[in-house]
Amino acid sequence: MNSNTLWLIGKRFGAALVTLLIVSMVVFAITAVLPGDAAQAALGQFATPEQVAALRIKMGLDQPGVVRYLSWLMNLLSGNFGESASNAMSVAELVGGRFPNTLMLAGATALVSVPVALVLGIGSAMGRGSRLDGALSFITLALVAVPEFLVATLAVLIFAVNLGWLSALSYASETHSPLEFIRTYALPVMTLCCVIVAQMARMTRAAVIDQLDSPYVEMARLKGVSPVRIVLRHALPNAIGPIANAIALSLSYLLGGVVIVETIFNYPGVASLMVDAVTNRDMALVQACTMLFCSAYLGLVLIADLCAILSNPRLRTQ
């Protein structure tokens, strides 16, 4: 790794941090500055002007927006996320209790989806133009297009209602045996996997085909190298960067899916906590959850970028 690469990586890290800062400004502006007077809203329209003024000072609303933003940001950085309005608990405690569950769900999904997507993507790239490739390409295109709740409701209908194999509701606390674990996680993980596998398989197929079209692969083919060897020894090592990029990008779509899936299956994770917070207009909790999800998203996009840089010699020496 040369100094050029380090500089490039450092620049990406810096850009990600700046973006996160701008995202925090946007989030704060939307949730705390634009909606108007939170003190008036909290007391209702029958409050006297004195009461409203007193609460405004207590909540720090008499300060200009920039000052409030800075103190909010300082609090976030020191791990103080404020109090949840609807639960009378600290936001850090609430989110901290739910976070392992969401991480577990995301981890299980990644563990299942990555190998499946790689096999499908590489397989259909190898048999390009075949009937199998056509079918896979149609299925993945369709799966990318359908909403998560369609997959989820159909899966519940088939596996829980008609076949009775799995429970429709998941409770993360009750898993003692591996079988129970599977029964609990199967439906949410399957639903999340559908969309993500489809994304990842399409991107993997494109990355491998890109390599298969290159002159060096044609040379290998003309030399009489077997198709399996061409893919495994020649094309794949060069496609690893784009594939890793594809994996990280696809996993960032988990964020959208997890909101729907946790709600449908009553899964006690951060995303369902956030939906409840939005419904109850519990602003401190909404802000904390949004920042958590946006950081995770930016982190995955950053990893995708770094994979692309590290695997591409041209990008490194530019």
Partner 1 sequence: MNKLIVKSPPTAADLSLGKVVHSTSWLGLAGAVMCVFWLLVALFGPWLAPHPVGEVVSDNVFENISAAFPFGTDFLGRDMLSRVLAGARFTVGLALISAVLASGLGTSLALLAVVVPKWLDEVISRLMDAFISIPSKMLALIMVSAFGSSVTLLITTAVLSFSPGAFRIARSLAVNIEALEYVQVARTRGERRLYIACVEILPNMLNPVLTDLGLRFGFIVLLLSGMSFLGLGVQPPDADLGSLVRENIGGLNQGAPAIVIPALAIGTLTIGVNLFIDRLSSRRSRRSGGH
- Which residues of the shown chain bind partner 1 in the complex (CB under 8 A)? 19, 22-23, 26-27, 30-31, 34-35, 128-129, 131, 134, 138, 141-142, 144-150, 153-154, 156-157, 161-162, 168, 199, 202-203, 205-206, 209, 213, 246, 249-250, 252-253, 255-256, 259-260, 263, 274-275, 277-279, 281, 283, 286-287, 290, 293-294, 297-298, 301
d(CA 293, CA 258) in angstroms, rounded, equals 11
Identity of residue 146: V
Taking the complex as a whole, the smallest distance from the CB of residue 125 to partner 1 amounts, in Å, to: 10
Identity of residue 169: L
Closer of 69 and 181 to partner 1 (Cβ): 69
Taking the complex as a whole, the smallest distance from the CB of residue 8 to partner 1 amounts, in Å, to: 18
d(CA 14, CA 35) in angstroms, rounded, equals 31
DSSP class of 101: H
Closer of 43 and 54 to partner 1 (Cβ): 43
Residue 27's nearest CA partner among 297, 218, 240, 284 is 284
Residue 117's nearest CA partner among 231, 207, 184 is 207
Taking the complex as a whole, the smallest distance from the CB of residue 115 to partner 1 amounts, in Å, to: 18
Taking the complex as a whole, the smallest distance from the CB of residue 162 to partner 1 amounts, in Å, to: 7
Closer of 175 and 238 to partner 1 (Cβ): 238
Taking the complex as a whole, the smallest distance from the CB of residue 34 to partner 1 amounts, in Å, to: 6
d(CA 24, CA 32) in angstroms, rounded, equals 11
- Its sign, for the CA torsion 129, 131, 132, 133, is positive
Closer of 54 and 139 to partner 1 (Cβ): 139
Closer of 54 and 61 to partner 1 (Cβ): 61
Say how many Å lie between the first and final Cα of the chain, rounded: 14
